[in-house]
Amino acid sequence: MAKVKDVLAALDNLTNGRCLKGPGDWAGGQNPWVVTKSSNIPGKAVVEMPGLVWGDPEMEVKKIAVCMTMTESVIELAAATGVNAIVAHHPIADSANSGGVLIKYYLGIYNLACFELHEAFHGTHPGIPWLHGHRPFFSSVCYDGIPGNIVYVGDVIPEIKTVGDMISRLDTLMNAQMDEDMLALERKTRGCDAIEETAVAARAKILVGKPENPMKKVIHMFPHCGFTPAHLERLVKEYPDVDTLMATISRVYPGHPLVAKAEELGLNFVCGNSHALEIFENGVPMARALKNHLPDCEVVIFRERQTSVPLDCFGSQEIRDYGTDIAKEYLHRK
Ligand SMILES: [Fe+2]
Ligand SMILES: [Fe+2]
């Protein structure tokens, strides 16, 4: 029977030893994957601690859930379905990732261990360029000296001839039609056509260019990492035969300076997978690797599915009345 410590050993092995093995590993800055994430908002920073965040190393683990972000829904689903260990990709902050209450109490009552593996997992595999149909010949994780400003320049794979081919590839890989169907079903079942869902609302799309435009060489960047129009200009000077700019994880919207710059430089500009699909990009390989390391454990994937519902459509008529009454009686408008 696998134990919590074996899950840690597996995560450490699949990242080539990047996880924390004990206090001695993070003390004195020994582990470069222990990083502080801060926007300089007081008290809101988080320190990434790749490996075991909470749990008894000797506890037995029969079932592991892989998720992107630990939330109260994740914790409740884990407890209700016999999961012993949650492996989250995004860093875990006490209370923020445990429904506003302390991890030690909440995970304690459910006998759950939790792990995080974020920056230490990034860069371990070439899956994201592959999914987006190119093979990078240049890559940087700190373009222009900005840590985390990840940029790839790649040749598209032979199957892709046009921008439309790339979008179709992604739609097939991501099962985009199924998400469309699920949303249509949900709208119908709940009787509300205005429900929106992330995978559908933020699916792959072309910002500049036409589906039939040829696509051979691509600059692939992540707008939330600090990529600017000046970076684009410089890269196009270095690689003049680039024809396409691609944004994934995050994206920009019409009116953004990167759109104008792509137009000026005569590039196609496409948005690939949004962050909501990272569970496919990084979650699936991580889950499969865990299963390879711990074949006796059951491994499940927790996929977040975020919907937007107009207030007047939300819940049952009774719950809408409840909301109306409570707001009127107790939540006074000043
Ligand atoms: Fe990630
Ligand atoms: Fe992410």
Q: What is the pLDDT of residues 196-254, one digit of tens each?
A: 999 999 999 999 999 999 999 999 999 999 999 999 999 999 999 999 999 999 999 99
Q: Which residues sit with Cβ closer than 5 angstroms to ligand 2, an ion?
A: 278
**What separation in Å is there between the alpha carbon of 275 and the centre of ligand 2?**
6
**What separation in Å is there between the alpha carbon of 48 and the centre of ligand 2?**
13
What is the distance between the alpha carbons of residues 71 and 93, in angstroms, rounded to a whole number?
Answer: 10
pLDDT at residue 23 tops 80? no
**What separation in Å is there between the alpha carbon of 318 and the centre of ligand 1?**
40
Tokens at residue 65, please?
């859930």
**What separation in Å is there between the alpha carbon of 90 and the centre of ligand 2?**
6
Tokens at residue 175, please?
């099962």
**What separation in Å is there between the alpha carbon of 68 and the centre of ligand 2?**
7
**What separation in Å is there between the alpha carbon of 34 and the centre of ligand 1?**
15
**What separation in Å is there between the alpha carbon of 258 and the centre of ligand 1?**
23
Residue 11 Ramachandran class (φ > 0 left, ψ -120 to 50 alpha, else beta): alpha
**What separation in Å is there between the alpha carbon of 53 and the centre of ligand 2?**
18
Residue 272 to residues 143, 204, 225, 319: CA-CA distances in angstroms? 20, 5, 16, 38
Q: What ligand has the least distance to the C-alpha of 286? A: 1
What is the distance between the alpha carbons of residues 98 and 73, in angstroms, rounded to a whole number?
Answer: 9
Q: What ligand has the least distance to the C-alpha of 224? A: 2
- Asked whether 163 and 206 are in contact (CB, 8 A), the reply is yes
**What separation in Å is there between the alpha carbon of 12 and the centre of ligand 1?**
17
Residue 244 to residues 90, 135, 144, 204: CA-CA distances in angstroms? 29, 14, 20, 14
Confidence of residue 147 (pLDDT cuts 50, 70, 90): confident
28 by Cβ neighbours in 10 Å (0-12 / 13-18 / 19+) ranks as exposed
Q: Which pLDDT does position 334 carry in this prediction?
A: 64
**What separation in Å is there between the alpha carbon of 91 and the centre of ligand 2?**
9
Mean pLDDT calculated for residue range 146-153: 92
**What separation in Å is there between the alpha carbon of 322 and the centre of ligand 1?**
39
- Asked whether 170 and 204 are in contact (CB, 8 A), the reply is yes
pLDDT at residue 46 tops 90? yes
**What separation in Å is there between the alpha carbon of 279 and the centre of ligand 2?**
8
- Which residue type is seen at 330? Y
**What separation in Å is there between the alpha carbon of 277 and the centre of ligand 1?**
10
Beta bridge partners of residue 244, listed in sequence order:
218, 268
Percent of the chain with pLDDT over 90: 93
86-120 tens-digit pLDDT: 999 999 999 999 999 999 999 999 999 999 999 99
Which pTM was predicted? 0.95
Q: For residue 40, how many other CB atoms are within 10 A of its CB?
A: 6
**What separation in Å is there between the alpha carbon of 91 and the centre of ligand 1?**
10
**What separation in Å is there between the alpha carbon of 100 and the centre of ligand 2?**
21
**What separation in Å is there between the alpha carbon of 109 and the centre of ligand 1?**
29
